[in-house]
Amino acid sequence: MHASHHAVASSARRQFEIPVRVYYEDTDAGGVVYYANYLRFLERARTEWLRHIGFEQQKIIDEQHLVFVVKRIEADYHAPGRLDDELRVEVAVDRLGNASLVFAQRVFRDMQVLLDARVTVVCVDIRRMKPAPIPAPMRAKLEETMKAAA
């Protein structure tokens, strides 16, 4: 699975998306995207979205000792992706908690939805391995992003 480093903000839908090309390594014996690989696509899109709004994960780890870990995923698979497909993986923040975020994510091929997912991530202090409040500057940017999408 390889995504272009060029991410696109979709202003019409107020969400963020990245393109992902399906490679042989992403498929299973049936020639379709292996179900767990969609989770990689979702992760990559969230990472690029975070970078797009001004936050790099390694810098957050190094400077604040925080990581975002997946707590829960709900996914509905609607249609298979196939070798060489150019997919779009979308990200939108659905809910902002004190130490958590819930993302609404979709994977498309052209206009067809292949997967709908809700992903809950929790901000964790890696020194204590316990939930930690989302830092104020990040929270402000997240709130601003959510307001713009409303």
pLDDT in tens, 109-141: 999 999 999 999 999 999 999 999 999 999 999
Question: pLDDT band for position 7 (50/70/90)?
Answer: very low
pLDDT of residue 3: 43
First to last CA, the chain: 32
pLDDT digits (tens, 9 = 90+) for 75-96: 999 999 999 999 999 999 999 9
- How confident is the prediction for the chain on average, in pLDDT? 90
Number of domains in the chain: 1
Residue 125 structural domain? 2-149
Contacts of 113 (CB under 8 A, 6+ apart): 78, 79, 106, 107
pLDDT of residue 2: 46
- Would you give the DSSP letter of residue 11? T
Looking at the annotation, which residues are catalytic? Answer: 28
